[in-house]
């Protein structure tokens, strides 16, 4: 698996492993097996949060499991580690006030058993805290060496831009990565996102990111398993001819539709008006995860990319 270097100088694998369910619905042993397989395949970019998956536990399990794996495998230098702050976890932690950011980064460092985080995201916007306070707090983490780079997740595009303008005005560190919901299938325009922050990525956001040379880390990129099984497909995505075309091309190429969706995303920056996209996904089973991961090594011609875009 070839690595890519992002504009912020981070060198990462072209796909990211999502650790959201590690330690909860994906038990420790299964999580270790998936992490080992990802590393063995040449993967390096691993994504977690300080609140995953609090609906199935306390919110500490994902980071704690990753910390145990990093210590057991002694592979911290081979991993680009991303975690987040800002969402609620059983009534604590919501918000991006300076004191919250400082508290939770120290908790994340402790659970992850590391002294630095490669990429630290604001997990969601906090309209009640001035951007000046939030961005100054993040910048102090970078200057202290606790964090190398910053990202913004679940931000409206204009708020992401304002956060970076605020950082620039303060002489601070900007967000250099965006994480947002994105997949091959188009969202239904007649249905609102399930939550204010869960806005799917549209063309305007993609053009903004392309113009600013900011990569998109795409969560929910495999449509919750919907490329493999219709019954898993979220109701707010349009299937129809586009899904049928994806599956048809995948069958011709001898890969799964999920692998082809991954390939489409990793090649999308070759098309005008699109940024670098890094698909973020996981599975509770190693074989399913590795099947989707095949997409990062799949070559697509310009004609195939154009056909997929037009479907």
* Spatial distance between the Cα atoms of 205 and 221, rounded to a whole number of angstroms: 16
- Could you tell me how far CA 311 lies from the centroid of its own chain? 25
* Spatial distance between the Cα atoms of 158 and 202, rounded to a whole number of angstroms: 13
Phi, psi of 38 (to 5 degrees): -65, -45
In Å, how far are 186, 224, 237, 238, 272 from 190, measured between CA atoms? 12, 20, 10, 11, 27
Kindly state the DSSP code that residue 225 receives in the 8-state scheme.
Answer: G
CA atoms within 13 A on the CB side of 211: 8
* 184 is known as an active-site residue: no
* Spatial distance between the Cα atoms of 275 and 177, rounded to a whole number of angstroms: 11
What SS3 class is residue 273? coil
Sign of the alpha-carbon dihedral angle for 133, 134, 139, 142: positive
Active-site annotation holder among 52, 120, 121, 184? 52
Tell me which residues are annotated as active site. 52
């Amino acid at each position: 698996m070839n690595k890519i270097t992002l504009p912020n100088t981070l060198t990462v694998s072209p796909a990211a492993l999502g650790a959201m369910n590690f330690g909860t619905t994906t038990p420790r042993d299964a999580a270790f097996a998936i992490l080992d397989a990802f590393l063995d395949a040449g993967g390096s970019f691993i994504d977690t949060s300080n609140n995953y998956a609090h609906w199935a536990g306390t919110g500490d399990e994902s980071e704690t499991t990753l910390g145990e794996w990093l210590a057991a495998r002694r592979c911290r230098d081979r991993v680009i580690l991303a975690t987040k702050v800002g969402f609620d976890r059983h009534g604590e932690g919501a918000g991006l006030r300076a004191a919250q950011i400082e508290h939770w980064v120290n908790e994340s460092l402790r659970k992850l058993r590391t002294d630095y985080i490669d990429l630290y995201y604001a997990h969601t916007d906090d309209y009640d805290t001035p951007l000046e306070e939030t961005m100054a707090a993040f910048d102090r983490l970078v200057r202290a060496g606790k964090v190398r780079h910053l990202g913004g997740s679940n931000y409206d595009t204009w708020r992401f831009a304002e956060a970076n303008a605020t950082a620039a005005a303060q002489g601070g560190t900007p967000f250099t990565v965006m994480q947002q919901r994105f997949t091959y299938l188009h969202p239904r325009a007649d249905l609102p996102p399930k939550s204010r922050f869960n806005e799917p990525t549209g063309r305007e956001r993609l053009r903004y990111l392309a113009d600013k040379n900011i990569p998109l880390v795409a969560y929910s990129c495999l449509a919750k398993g919907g490329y493999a099984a219709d019954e898993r497909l979220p109701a707010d995505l349009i299937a129809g001819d586009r899904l049928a075309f994806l599956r048809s091309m995948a069958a011709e190429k001898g890969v799964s539709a999920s692998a082809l969706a991954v390939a489409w995303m990793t090649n999308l920056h070759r098309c005008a008006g699109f940024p670098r996209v890094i698909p973020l996904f996981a599975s509770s089973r190693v074989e399913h995860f590795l099947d989707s991961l095949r997409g990062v090594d799949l070559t697509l011609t310009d004609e195939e990319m154009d056909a997929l875009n037009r479907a």
